[in-house]
A and B are shown apart, each in its own frame.
Chain A
Amino acid sequence: MNKQFLKAGMLGLLVAGWLSQAALAQSDPSGKRRVTSTYAITNATVFKAPGDPGSKATILIKDGVILGVGTALTLPKEAKVIAGDSLYVYPGFIDGAGTMGITKPKDVERPKDFVSSNPPDEVAGITPWRMATDSYSAASTQVDDWRKAGFTMSQVVPDGGMLPGKTAIVLLGEPKTNNFLKVNTAVAANFRSSRGMYPATLAGVMSKFRDVYQNTALVIEHERIFAANSGVKRPQASPTHTAFMPVVQKQLPVLFTAGSELEIRRALALQKELGFKLVLTGLENYASVIDVIKSSGTPVLIKLQVPDDKSIKSQKADGVTEATKAQYARVKESYDQALKLAAQLEKKGILFGFSTADAKAADVQKTLKAMISNGLSEKAALAALTTNPAAILGISGMAGTLEKGKLANLVVTTDTLFNEDTQIKHVIADGYVFDYEVKKKAVKAEAASPKPEAAPNTVTVEGLWEYTSETPAGSSGGEITLKRENGVLGGSITYDDPSGSGKASAPIKNASLTGKTLSFEFDVAAGGMSLTVTISGEINGKNMEGALSVPQMGSFPVKATLSSPSQAN
């Protein structure tokens, strides 16, 4: 490369950098910088804490701190006023343990002398020294989604193996600022084994956990002897042992992910045997262990999601045998019981909050309403969203309620929180105001308005569809082009290329349209294998809703819109 040219290029970059900095210093060409950090929500119905019946008050905040809550506040000139007359204000929600904004660190390359029976900790998923802060992105759309659902703080948990790393408490404020409130708040653990190496199973993971714990205790003892005497062999703590020391010294809790009854019992058994501080998270099925949790005194974070009702809805009323009906009844019983679990925790007086990990932000209202209509009190529901997680995370002094001096984390709604039609209008996190569009109540008479596409028995399928799909890997989407040639439906589909960025395309196979139901298949090449993906859905006008199913992975919701229908039909 021409050196002169390179230099000129470098200089250009430097100048550009200087220019942009200078520009920021003088004004804000983006127009995004806020004009004030002082806000007042005036004359709103304020619920300061769970159980508060609510009263009219004004809340003044500045620089991310609540300056006052009351009726006789003097508002400074720079305060931007949000007229709260018709609004309701609650403390911002706190996620006890979540994975929003967290990306999984890349797999570590195996060393040349790798032996699967004795792998390096880092390769085997034992990385307690890693910090959630290193893999967190405040700009993630997941963070946006949870903030929109009312969450203002989260204890984020790193992704990885059995000991993935340390958690951190983040504020869901302006993404460009430093949002870490507290780092290294707990050591995350779960029963995830390593693929193809030790520990390869749950049994190995339990043993390895004991091993890490006991050897950390011995390293601490070694260091003590070394510090107190001369002539002692120097201690050689591994990164794992160093990072695990706060657990053995009971300075940090272990945040153990345990979804099922047996996992909960196993985590409690390890705790009883070794004696560390424990918080359980991700609880899903725990009906039979509520008393066990209670007597252990362990705080828990339950998954903020109730089971889906697909299996209940698919139960048929007619044409099934008595034996099948008996099985239906058991599933129904189990489903009903699952909805009541949160209420049972309240009844037993167990300290519980929520975990957003593996839950859907869009379902929060639905989930909470389901729990409340199954016996959870509104007070307890709000406590599980605010004061309980604050207590479990040890931040009650700064968060969880609306009080002078606490962090400016608020949820502003159009009606009382758990009301059927309530919507969130503003979320204030770390003193930053996020506005959300409030939809008018859905017009029930929609069916009455004539729709040009909805002529009886004709379903438009040909043309260009845009689709999105929710998979565990995140949201993805692309375009579906459908056309009929010689009476045979075919076309192509684009999708996110699994081998990297960008889109890949595949021809559509076995397409069929029966009534309003469209279904077709296409092949995806991934990691040297070919998977046949099936999409099937029901078309209503220009919209299609259905499922995308991948063999051995399951099925995921898919939605599509016909953006440009074919003219020739």
Chain B
Amino acid sequence: MKKHIYILAAFFGLGVGMSHAQVQKGSVLIKNATVLTVTKGNLESSDVLVQNGVITQIGKNLSAPAGVSAIDATGKYLMPGIIDAHSHVGLDVVNEASAPITSEVRMKDVVNPQDLGIYRALAGGVTVSHAMHGSANVVGGQNATLKHRWGSEDPADIIMQEAPRTIKFALGENPTRVHGRGNGIQPRSRMGVEAVIRNGFNEAIQYKKAWEKYTLAKAQKGNTVTPPAYSERLQTLADILDGKIIIHCHSYRADEIYMLINVIKDFKIKKVVFQHTNEGFKVAPEIAEYTMGASVFADWWAYKMEVYYSTAYNAAILQKNGAITSINSDSAELIRHLYHEAGKTQRYGGLTDEEALAMITLNPAKQLGIEDKVGSIEVGKQADLVIFEGHPLSSYAVPQMTFVDGVKYFDRKADKDDQRLSVAATEMVEPIFLRANEEAHRCMQDVDKYFEAFQGAFAKEKH
């Protein structure tokens, strides 16, 4: 049907509304790889056939249909595309830090498909990232789940449109510092954080009722009920209460994690994932029972007071207690070697290969609500795949090729020096320094800028 419209339009010489360029889907046959399916064990010397962006066949001695090219992966490993459940690459703005609740803010509005961080992530085998709002607010903005289709011009083309909505929450030192200490408003303490969340949800309940009343009355003839004010902020909170949005909550301490579990129990919310969760090991059974798990660092802590009581065994303890556990980056640098980070759960906790790989594939997919589409190599799933030289959990692993929807976006052998998608006409070319960006950790990005407008020094921690 759609095709006909395009043909007709072309015939009449009309411009077609192509503001959403079609997302590219590829077909490819990857042969003779050690296939790490994550859900169905490892398949030696096996082939994976991808047609039109979807895995259609897994087996031995598959032949490529006409027009489908084959890649020989003999001696190499094939794993599902890595999924980072906590990232800020591909975003022009991270924090709308100006209010304790900014649930109306959408990261989808500020996606920048030209961010080089996307390509670097692809070079580390990452095909999906969760582009999150920062942690300056108790309730931050709505996040975007990105598919790393490098080279897209339209931001809409790198947003995984079929992924469910998610939102950022933040507990502890960041929101209390920004709002309580910085602005002299609630929340100034952890108690205040809880109050902001509870008050927000209660207001959202009132908001929803007011709109239901108005919508009902509006249908009647001679209606005299006037519309309530519109608030996307409260509507979004109401959507959380209705189970339409997954909360991803920045948290460190066990007491505040347990606090939020109590809040969601009171408001009958089921969809919560804890982020960072350094003291998650203390409340692992509770996290397992009431939430969608925790997304943690492998071994990163002590960058502020609330992050001192930490252990590299955190992920393994959570996993053994039955909590869905993923390992994330929250960093444009760490995102390039999440397979190393996953490997650390074997050194600290003795997880199996499959458990460790699930930490960066299937488990984050579950936490983002996309496990039916990505996160493992199975027939019917989207063909987000990485070919590794060496086992991905080995210290010597090097990603060779990365595919999203069957399209190859990274190839180590065809890696251009200059990957920038656009260059300013007035750029003064300066010598290049190969140095990691010191501001790579962006959880508190835009907050400094926000603060320096009316107060001088601001704390340096950014997570």
By a beta-carbon cutoff of 8 Å, the part of chain A in contact with chain B is 115-118, 195-204, 206-207, 210-211, 214-215, 218, 221-222, 225-226, 229, 231-233, 235, 261-262, 265-266, 268-269, 272, 285, 288-289, 291-292, 294-296, 307-308, 310-311, 314-315, 323-324, 326-328, 330-331, 333-335, 337-338
Stretch of B61-69, B312-320, B449-457 at the chain-chain interface: B449-457
Q: Which residues of B contact A199 (CB under 8 A)?
A: 96, 98
For the complex, what is the distance from the CA of A214 to the CA of B222, rounded to whole Å? Answer: 23
CB <8 Å contact, A331 and B446: no
In the assembled complex, the Cα of A288 lies from the Cα of B230 at a distance in Å of: 35
Q: List 25 A-B contacts (CB under 8 A).
A: A115-B183, A116-B98, A196-B450, A197-B98, A200-B96, A200-B450, A201-B110, A202-B92, A203-B93, A203-B106, A203-B141, A210-B232, A214-B230, A226-B226, A231-B224, A261-B153, A265-B155, A292-B154, A294-B15, A326-B418, A331-B424, A331-B429, A334-B423, A334-B427, A338-B425
Contacts of B18 in A (CB 8 A): 291-292, 295
Q: How far does the Cβ of B334 sit from chain A's closest Cβ, in whole Å?
A: 24
Is B440 positioned at the interface, with any CB of A under 8 Å from its CB?
no
Q: Tell me whether B338 is interfacial, beta carbon within 8 Å.
A: no
- Rounded to whole Å, the gap between the CB of B162 and the closest CB of chain A is 19
Do B99 and A118 touch across chains, with their CB atoms under 8 A apart? yes
B432 at the interface (CB under 8 A from A): yes
B429 contacts A204, C-beta separation under 8 Å? no
- State the Cβ distance, A33 to closest chain B Cβ, in Å: 47
Please tell me if the beta carbons of A203 and B96 are within 8 angstroms of each other in the complex.
yes
Per-residue interface assignment for chain B, residues 137 to 179, with 1 indicating a CB less than 8 Å from any chain A CB and 0 otherwise? 0000100000000000111000000000000000000000001
Contacts of A338 in B (CB 8 A): 425
Known: A200-B446, A201-B93, A214-B230. A225 touches B224 (CB 8 A): yes
Whether B100 is near chain A, meaning CB under 8 Å from some CB there, is yes
Name the contact of B446 in the complex, choosing from A117, A201, A288, A307 (C-beta under 8 A). A201
| Residue pair A211, B426 in contact (C-beta under 8 Å) | no
B436 interface hit (Cβ, 8 Å): no
With the chains together, A333 CA to B418 CA distance in Å?
Answer: 14
Q: Which residues of A contact B179 (CB under 8 A)?
A: 117
Assuming A314-B428, A331-B424, is B19 touching A218 (CB within 8 A)?
no
For residue A204, which residues in chain B have a CB less than 8 angstroms away from its CB? 96, 98, 102, 105
Chain A residues contacting B97 (CB-CB under 8 Å) are 200
Flag if B227 contacts A218 (CB, 8 Å): yes
Asked if B242 lies at the interface with its beta carbon under 8 angstroms from chain A, I say no
Main secondary structure of the interface of A (DSSP, over half): helix
Q: Which of B19, B231, B420 has the most C-beta atoms of chain A within 10 angstroms of its own C-beta?
A: B19
Most A-side CB within 10 Å, residue of B16, B98, B133: B98
A196 contact set on B, CB distance < 8 A: 98, 450-451, 453-454
Chain B residues positioned under 8 Å from A206 (CB to CB): 105-106, 109-110
Contact between chains at A328 and B429 (CB < 8 Å): yes
Known: A201-B95, A311-B425, A331-B423. 17 other contacts (CB 8 A): A117-B100, A202-B110, A204-B105, A207-B102, A207-B105, A207-B109, A207-B232, A214-B232, A222-B227, A265-B154, A285-B424, A291-B15, A291-B18, A295-B17, A307-B426, A311-B428, A334-B422
* Cβ-closest chain B residue relative to A328: B429
List B residues 215-237 near A (Cβ within 8 Å): 222-232
A-B contact count (CB 8 A): 167
Q: Which residues of A contact B183 (CB under 8 A)?
A: 115-117
- B104 interfacial contact with A, CB 8 Å: yes
1/0 per residue, CB under 8 A from A, across B431-463: the answer is 110000000000000100011011000000000
Partner of A262, one of B98, B107, B155, B226: B155
CB <8 Å contact, A311 and B426: yes
* Inter-subunit contact B229/A215 (CB<8 Å): yes
Asked if B99 and A195 sit within 8 Å, CB to CB, the answer is: no
Question: Given the complex of chains A and B, what is the CA–CA distance between A120 and B101 in angstroms?
Answer: 17
Contact B417–A203 (Cβ < 8 Å)? no
Q: For the complex, what is the distance from the CA of A308 to the CA of B424, rounded to whole Å? A: 11
Q: Across the interface, which residues of A come within 8 angstroms of B112, CB to CB?
A: 262
Q: Is the CB of A326 within 8 A of B224?
A: no
What chain A residues lie within 8 Å of B223 (beta carbons)?
225
Question: Does residue B10 face the partner (Cβ distance < 8 Å to A)?
Answer: no
Question: Looking at B95, B141, B228, B425, which has the most chain A CB atoms within 10 Å of its CB?
Answer: B425
Tell which of B222, B231, B429, B432 touches A315, judged by Cβ atoms closer than 8 Å.
Answer: B429
Cross-chain contact A307 with B425 (CB below 8 angstroms): yes
Residues from chain B with Cβ under 8 Å of A231 in the complex: 224
| Residue interface mask B12-52, A partner, CB < 8 A = 1 | 00011111000000000000000000000000000000000
Residues from chain B with a CB closer than 8 A to the CB of A202 are 92-93, 109-110
Residues of A within 8 A of B231 (CB): 211
Q: What per-residue 1/0 map shows which CB atoms of B60-98 lie under 8 Å from chain A?
A: 000000000000000000000000000000001101111
> In the bound complex, how far is the Cα of B226 from the Cα of A232, in angstroms?
8
Tell me the complex Cα distance, A233–B18, Å.
45
Is B185 on the interface with A (CB-CB < 8 A)?
yes
B153 and A295: CB pair below 8 A?
no
* Contacting residue for A288 out of B99, B153, B417, CB 8 A: B153
Task: List A contacts of B418 (CB < 8 A).
Answer: 326-327, 330
B227 touches A115 (CB 8 A): no
Return the chain A residue nearest B427 by Cβ.
A331
Q: Give, as a whole number of angstroms, the nearest-CB distance from B176 to chain A.
A: 14
Judging by beta carbons under 8 Å apart, are A201 and B96 in contact? yes
Question: In the assembled complex, how far is the CB of residue B245 from the closest CB belonging to chain A, in whole angstroms?
Answer: 16
Residue of B nearest to A232 (CB): B224
Using CB atoms, name the residue of chain A closest to B114. Answer: A262
A285 to B429, CA, bound (A): 19
The CA-CA distance from A215 to B234 in the complex, in Å, is: 14
Return the chain B residue nearest A270 by Cβ: B109
A518 to B70, CA, bound (A): 65
Q: Which residues of A contact B185 (CB under 8 A)?
A: 115, 117
Q: A265 to B95, alpha carbons, bound, how many Å?
A: 21
Chain A min CB distance to B399 (Å): 24
Q: How far is the CA of A115 from the CA of B186 in the complex (A)?
A: 11
Q: Which residues of A contact B229 (CB under 8 A)?
A: 215, 218
Q: How far is the CA of A198 from the CA of B137 in the complex (A)?
A: 13
CB distance from B158 to the nearest CB of A (A): 12
Are B429 and A324 in contact (CB-based, < 8 A)?
yes
Residues of B within 8 A of A195 (CB): 453-454
CB nearest to A261 among chain B residues: B153
B186 to chain A, nearest CB (A): 10
Q: Determine if A295 and B424 form an interchain contact, defined as CB atoms under 8 angstroms apart.
A: no
Q: Report yes or no: B19 in contact with A296, Cβ–Cβ below 8 A.
A: yes
For the complex formed, measure the closest distance between the CB of A96 and the CB atoms of chain B, giving whole angstroms: 22
The minimal Cβ–Cβ distance linking B106 to chain A, given in whole angstroms, is: 7
Q: How far is the CA of A228 from the CA of B118 in the complex (A)?
A: 55
A331 touches B425 (CB 8 A): yes
Whether B222 pairs with A229 at a CB distance below 8 angstroms is: yes
Q: How far is the CB of B420 from chain A (nearest CB, A)?
A: 8
- Nearest CB in chain A to that of B452: its residue: A196
B19 touches A268 (CB 8 A): yes
CB neighbours of B98 from chain A (8 A): 116-117, 196-200, 204
